[in-house]
Amino acid sequence: MPWGNKHIPSYVVAGFAKRLSRILLLAPLDAQEPVLGLIRNLLTRHPNVSTLIHREVPETLPSDPYNESEQKLSECGAVHSSLWEIKSLQRHWHLNVAKRANFVDKKLQQMESFVRFRCQDELFSNMMARAFGTGEENLEEKYSRAQVIIIITALYSFYFIYIGDKM
């Protein structure tokens, strides 16, 4: 992989990481975790670019020195910018993306992290399983809840039919 080459100029790595982080703001869910892992690995391989995560976040988007319309990485201003986009992903609605984005608050790791790609179907299945349980467990829970409701209803009816009349 060419990104492991230590002879790549810092502005190229910074520009690539900045463009990836800007794209992350609009990327689909299945692309966000792997791209965050890729950015983390870029910063691990090129620690001289780690200033991007330790720099002050710009107050407004126009105050960011990065020019995303600039084609040349040497002139886009990424070296003077920060990866505020990743900081904003720490408040993502999906817990895995928010956790993956926490690397910007930690010490730079020594070893690269594993980048796992998941398709949208797998992410959706995991979210549904977390929310509603797996299929078999969920059916068993529904069945036992239904039994409890039937028993309570029967006891309630029995009380009012047989005991309620005698009072």
pLDDT in the model for residue 115: 75
Per-residue pLDDT of the chain (167 residues; tens, 9 = 90+): 455 566 789 999 999 999 999 999 999 988 899 999 999 999 988 988 888 887 776 666 677 888 988 999 889 999 999 899 999 999 998 888 999 999 888 887 777 776 777 788 887 887 788 777 765 555 566 666 666 667 666 666 666 666 655 55
> String of b and e for 76-107 (b: at least 16 CB within 10 Å)?
bbbbebbbbbbbebeebeeebbeebbebbeee
Residues making up the chain, counted from first to last: 167
What does the alpha-carbon distance between residue 8 and residue 63 come to, in Å, rounded to a whole number? 28
Whether 58 contacts 84, CB under 8 Å: yes
pLDDT in the model for residue 164: 57
pTM above 0.85, yes or no: no
pLDDT in the model for residue 57: 67
